[in-house]
Chains A and B, each alone.
Chain A
Amino acid sequence: MNIQIRERPEAGASAGIKTAIADCDIHPARATKDELYPYLAKRWYAHLETFGVHAYQGMMEGPPYPKAQPNASRRDAYPPEGGQQGSSLSFMQKQHLDPNNVALGVLNPLNTGQGLRNQDLAGAICSAINDWQIEKWTSKDARLKGSVVVPNEDGVAAAAEIRKRAGDTNFVQVLLLSRNVEPLGQRRYWPIYEAAQEAGLPIGVHAFGFGGNPITASGWPSFYVEEMVGHSQCQQTALASLVLEGVFERFSKLKMVMVEAGFGWAPSLAWRLDKVFSRLHAEVPHLKRKPSEYIRDHIWWTTQPMEDPESRDHLFQTIEWIGWDRLLFATDYPHWDFDEPSRVLPAGVSDANKQAFYLDNAKQLYGIA
């Protein structure tokens, strides 16, 4: 949760953690609006200056549901040299990567070309963001790895961007958002899955995005808290679509990470899918296995915002239903609902499970030695 600005021994420093960790959800930002322009053809930054982005929602500036904090980020995370939170590598190192002993940090850039209506613009911005990740971040700090962002509504162009980055060790995954024009299992997105599988890259599906659909099945809600809580429902539906459309039957080596959408809902969703599938399998004969088996074999989950029941036994039982080998620790730095690594797990977890949770699962999934 957000930390008020107050006197500190070292401004913005964290309590720290002794063991090395992987942070599977870090959000790098641009310090200024034109920071991306060197990576764009003149045609596209002229377009941005004149028309801005044309998204599947109405606001030209700021999100439709105003966040709880500026840029949804910690007030103590503004870099001393200026620019928005998350836009300075040196301050990110000082405030987060060094004190929190981050051995692997996965970058998930938001506000890219994803979710734009003009697909040519979307493709140009995504490609620019990928170049920018290398130049500003991953080439400057070997702990950081990028995510290939793609023009998600144009499957063919997205696949081409993935193939362009295949084999580049600056990147460890492809990034999609949960809310798109259609549910993620739909065939328009299959070229993305085909290219990712071919490149050996997992796909991170980060909560968020606007795809033109109301963000509940009953229309638009009123409040930011509804959007936040609702991410887990959108993610459940997106995952159900992926399973029921047969994406994992078709792309049997594809791995996906559910990012920032919670994991506590996974057992109930899997049980529901299995139960309904037992009645309705005739409608989806392309599925050769029970839905829960696809989920168990193909899906990983980042931890932030951590499930936080009153009873730690409830948390442990839930994790056992999912598997300690499937959770990837994440902080969401620099966002306001940052999870402090030293406080996220209650007492009573074995050393082996801690090691898997904080580091080893991520290293194994992302192929980091």
Chain B
Amino acid sequence: MTSPIAGGVDCDLHPAVPHLTSLLPYMNDYWRDQVTTRGMTDLISQSYPTNSPISSRPDWRPAQGKPGSSLADMQRQALDKFGSAYGICNPLYGVQMVFSEDMADAFCRALNDWLVKEWLDKDDRLRGSIVIPVQSIEKAVAEIERCAQDRRFVQVLMLVMGDMPLGKRHYWPIYAAAERLGLPIGIHAGSAYHNPPTSVGWGSYHIEDYVAQAQAFQTQLTSLIVEGVFARHPNLKMVMLESGFTWLPPFLWRLHKFWRGVRMETPWVDRAPLEIVRSNIRFSLQPVDAPPDGDTLNRLFDHMQSDELILFSTDYPHWQFDGDDVLPKGLSRDLVRRIMIDNPHATYARLKMKETTP
């Protein structure tokens, strides 16, 4: 195995909302009343059924409640265990699935406030991602601006499968706000289920939905690059979370080839896709979709032609690895340091800002 080094940044932790009622204290009277009167119970996404094996490592599954719902467990099993100096919380509560932008807005605000009170306030190492009601650009930007006043929010969080491809100009005000405030956009596996979860329709199985996340990341990366997001926002960083990364080299060979062939269609794309990825796109470490031998993995890193792309993550409490094997076999000490410390700090500029309010 490859040993982690102390002081790393765990870029993908999933604190779980125990129940929709846990958010009631963070809603106004109207929404509290809506939730209770209409009998809404919980917002668990089909992307992560609570008892699915991938939703929690067996030895991280609590005796009671949802995996990831206990701060003490997260501290013991992830933060202390791997010696992380920082951990970035990416709540995957299914607020993106609701169809009303007003309801989504109320739930996002509650979720972000809940994260501050129940997690960030209780452990200095923790940082947060701002969950936004993406159906409404105005409300999404307002929520980013509201939360960004707390420097512990270090990123904006979106799902990889939403209503429209993420490069669409419709979303650009979100990217402008994020760039202005020094917040990377984190794009996490998962679907709002507003479209079929694969590009060829609805599959039969949960396993298909999960495998399809990787293809969804690929199409989003195409969209973001060819629509010109990074020509307009050159300082914007985006982080693909729980995306896998071994698909990246052949994906870029293809995108590069077709971009060269039909670049007259998108003349604003002024740099090769590989260059754009190197300067603007990062990937979380887990899951590592590769065979367990170090030799193959090192070849894959060689195919990626950069050691700056990968950011350390445990994907806690999801089941991506066993025991202490959070780092795949065969990584050099230098690469471990880059993945665990240098690359995350180069990506998340706000990590070291200590003050909680301006």
CB within 8 Å of B: which residues of A? 1-2, 68, 178-186, 211-226, 228-230, 232-234, 236-238, 240-241, 244-245, 262, 264-265, 267-269, 271-273, 275-277, 279-280, 282-284, 305, 307-310, 314, 317-318, 336-337
Kindly state the separation between the CA atoms of A276 and B288 in the bound complex, as whole angstroms.
Answer: 11
Nearest chain A CB to B61 CB, angstrom units: 13
Q: Does B68 contact A (CB under 8 A)?
A: no
B195 partner, pick from A219, A236, A280, A283, beta carbons under 8 A = A219
- Structural contact, B207 and A237, CB atoms closer than 8 A: no
- Structural contact, B200 and A241, CB atoms closer than 8 A: yes
Kindly state the separation between the CA atoms of A33 and B161 in the bound complex, as whole angstroms.
Answer: 40
Kindly state the separation between the CA atoms of A106 and B54 in the bound complex, as whole angstroms.
Answer: 43
A229 partner, pick from B164, B200, B222, B291, beta carbons under 8 A = B222
Question: Whose C-beta in chain A lies nearest to the C-beta of B321?
Answer: A275
Nearest chain B CB to A205 CB, angstrom units: 11
Nearest chain A CB to B196 CB, angstrom units: 5
**Apart from A2-B261, A284-B207, 7 more pairs, CB < 8 Å:** A183-B198, A183-B201, A222-B226, A233-B215, A265-B250, A268-B246, A280-B53
Fill in one digit per residue for B143-187: 1 if any A CB lies within 8 Å of its CB, else 0.
Answer: 000000000000000001111111110000000000000000000
Q: Does B11 contact A (CB under 8 A)?
A: no
List of A residues within 8 angstroms of B121 by Cβ:
none
Q: Does B21 contact A (CB under 8 A)?
A: no
Does more than half of chain A's interface fall in helix, strand or loop, or is it mixed?
loop
- Structural contact, A276 and B210, CB atoms closer than 8 A: yes
Nearest chain A CB to B147 CB, angstrom units: 24
Kindly state the separation between the CA atoms of A241 and B211 in the bound complex, as whole angstroms.
Answer: 10
List of B residues within 8 angstroms of A224 by Cβ:
262, 265
Q: Does B255 contact A (CB under 8 A)?
A: yes
- Structural contact, A307 and B54, CB atoms closer than 8 A: no
Q: How large, as a class, is the contact surface on chain B?
A: 35 or more
Q: Does B319 contact A (CB under 8 A)?
A: yes
Kindly state the separation between the CA atoms of A128 and B177 in the bound complex, as whole angstroms.
Answer: 57
B214 partner, pick from A219, A272, A284, beta carbons under 8 A = A272
- Structural contact, A268 and B244, CB atoms closer than 8 A: yes
19 A-B pairs with CB atoms under 8 Å apart are: A68-B262, A179-B200, A183-B200, A183-B201, A213-B201, A214-B195, A217-B198, A218-B166, A223-B265, A225-B259, A240-B211, A241-B198, A265-B250, A268-B214, A280-B53, A305-B254, A305-B258, A310-B305, A317-B299
- Structural contact, B199 and A215, CB atoms closer than 8 A: yes
Q: Does B289 contact A (CB under 8 A)?
A: yes
Question: Among residues 190 to 248 in chain B, which have CB atoms less than 8 Å away from a CB atom of chain A?
Answer: 191, 194-208, 210-212, 214-216, 218-220, 222-223, 226-227, 244, 246-247
- Structural contact, B303 and A271, CB atoms closer than 8 A: no
- Structural contact, B165 and A309, CB atoms closer than 8 A: no
List of A residues within 8 angstroms of B191 by Cβ:
217
Q: Does B290 contact A (CB under 8 A)?
A: yes
List of A residues within 8 angstroms of B257 by Cβ:
305, 308
- Structural contact, B196 and A225, CB atoms closer than 8 A: no
List of A residues within 8 angstroms of B54 by Cβ:
276, 279-280
Nearest chain A CB to B84 CB, angstrom units: 24
Nearest chain A CB to B108 CB, angstrom units: 19
List of B residues within 8 angstroms of A337 by Cβ:
261
- Given known pairs A228-B262, A233-B218, the reply for A264 and B250 (CB within 8 Å) is yes
